[in-house]
Structure 1
Amino acid sequence: LFTLLGTSLVAAAGATLNEWLERDLDGKMRRTADRPLPAGRISPDEALIGGAGMAGLGLGTLYFGVHAPAAFLAAATLALYLFVYTPMKRWTSFNTFVGAIPGAIPPLIGFSAGRGRIEFEGWALFSILFLWQIPHFMAIAWRYREDYRRAGFRMLPCFDESGRVTGLVSVLYCVVLLPVSLTPVYFEAAGWFYGAGAILLGLGYTFFAALFAYAPSMPSARNLFLSSILYLPFLLILLVSDFR
């Protein structure tokens, strides 16, 4: 319970403080212009105080209610997200690959809290989440590349008019994700019920990435995005149901 509460508070703090840092840029993007800060529904001071308060409560909950390593991992996630990934979006198109690191750390918090240490299964989930995020965010960035350009964010699709590079990167990460998603089976942490499902889901994800790479367009990017948001929850459901 403390792990869930603390991690949720830190995640909410990260989202709030990210919006505080990017409030002026969010106002330039149609996709984000209606967020509470750029839309003026809450003030910057309210967002800063609320975000900092949630961060303190979340980290304190993990430190005192779980243990110090869980709090450290959550603090590292927050720091990487706010002070590395967020400013990098204005500097380099490699920001997505860096941002995928804090996006993949939460399973390590869970394993650290549950077992007192980070074991193989935690690193396997970290790797799966890291790889999954790249095609997911490439699809989003392609669909909203004009918005990102307007705000000055240096996303890869902003420099890839044809979409070929964006598509190839998506396919590459989907292809690598396939064998990585089977690591719980290789090390007998899950059975072949999970393994068969992971293969089918991975092939489907790769198929939509390949369609996007072959013919980059709004519909193919949307289909890749939809396949990504179906892939992850179903994969995790299979893993939980067949975990050993």
Structure 2
Amino acid sequence: MTTVPSTLSKAPLAVPDQDRPGLWADYVELTKARLSAMVVLTAAVGFMVAAPSPIPWTALVAAVVGTALAAGSAAVLNQLWEARRDALMERTRFRPLPARRIGTIHALSIGVLLGYAGTMVLAMGANLLAAGLALGNILLYVLAYTPMKPRTTLNTLVGAVCGAVPPMIGWAAATGSLGRGAWLLAAVLFVWQLPHFLSLAWLYRDDYRRGGHAMLPVVDVRGRVTCEVIVLTSALLVPLGLLIALAGLAGPLYAAVALVLGLGMSVFAVRMLASPTDARARAVFLASITYLPLLMFAMLVDRGTPPTSADRGITDTRAAVTAVLAADGEPVRTVAAP
């Protein structure tokens, strides 16, 4: 049975005044602003891939700002829930909440306000579907993923679902619906997160054990299962990445980049399986944080033809009726909405 060192079982020591970060720096850390930037990137790519021409810039700004606010809300509420466990972990014990630089009510207010603001920005600047996805994702992250972390290794799968939603928010903001492209982007994000998070959890497995989190590398002492999952999911990125091009969402340049990146991830994963060391886990993690931004950039540079209404999904009843009548050869009259 693992025991918590006495220095970690107590509340963290106060940070000397000269080393205390300012309030804004605490806000940046509390909202995980740097991590949220990756979330916003995937939402923006989802929007750009689906957007018609000319690009609806107001909706794009709403998608970016709303997603950023929603991601910040989820991060704050997650840290609020985990403050006691964060105090036990070396990596997190000096975060604003466990270090007591920000109080519980203060953090709760920030988290709720950010969530409300993000939802409203998406609802007013884009549409209700995008807003609903963002709000649902906050609730899933805080009320399902967070309490699952100390209970079951399946928490990583739920967390991966949360990470797969942002490109769907972007797609919904651009089109008002969810087509096959949105689901393909979400699938890539879901699978990518597994080698990404499992390699990180491997590096901090002792810290997660101290915090009482049921991460797979914590319970998988030999690391065999962890490495096998990393290899399987890294390999899956190859066909999933190519499916984006086959679906017409990106061109041949993107396909070449996706193939190289997916094979590269697989090579690092296989090397970790052959020799599960911290150095090889770190290589997988670094490969993962290289993979995603390069893949997203390639998708933007070599963007395919904007999806048709059939790909997006038809949400307007009048448009659907018009399409049916036109196919039957009936005369179609356009009537202005009241």
Q: After the TM superposition, which residues 163-242 of structure 1 pair with which residues of structure 2 at under 5 Å, given as runs? A: 163-242=223-302
Aligned match of 2:173 = 113
Match of 2:193 in 1: 133
Q: State the match for 1:148 in structure 2.
A: 208
Amino acid across the alignment from 1:12: G
1:199 CA drift (Å): 0.6
1:60 aligns with 2:120: yes
Unaligned runs of 5+ in 1: none
Aligned match of 2:144: 84
Query: Cα deviations across residues 107-138 of structure 1 (Å, max 9, x unaligned)?
Result: 01101111121122211110100000000000
Contact (CA 8 Å) 1:164, 1:214: kept in 2 or not? Answer: no
Partners of 1:236 and 1:143 in 2: CA distance:
26
Aligned pair partner of 2:103 in 38, 43, 55: 43
User: CA contact under 8 A between 2:126 and 2:174: conserved in structure 1?
Assistant: no
- Aligned residue for 1:182, secondary structure, equals helix
Asked if structure 2 preserves the Cα contact closer than 8 Å seen for 1:157 and 1:163, the reply is: yes
**Quick one: which of 198, 202, 221 aligns to 1:161?**
221
Q: Secondary structure at the match of 2:120?
A: helix
TM-score (norm. length: structure 1): 0.98
Structure-2 residue corresponding to 1:123: 183
Q: Which has the higher helix share?
A: 1
Instruction: Determine the C-alpha separation between the residues in 1 that align with 2:249 and 2:78.
Output: 36
SS in 2 for 1:31: coil
Which structure 2 segments of 5+ residues have no match? 1-60, 305-338
Q: Bigger shift: 113-122 or 148-157?
A: 113-122
Runs of 4+ in 1 over 4 A off after TM superposition: none
1:136-191 CA-to-partner distances (Å, cap 9, x unmatched) read: 00011111111111111000001112111110000000111110111122122211
| Count of matched residue pairs | 244
Which position in structure 1 is the counterpart of 2:67? 7
Q: SS of the residue aligned with 1:73?
A: helix
Secondary structure of the corresponding residue to residue 90 of structure 1: coil
Q: Which amino acid aligns with 1:231?
A: Y
- Report how far residue 65 of structure 1 moved: 2.0
Q: Report the Cα offset of residue 10 of structure 1.
A: 0.6
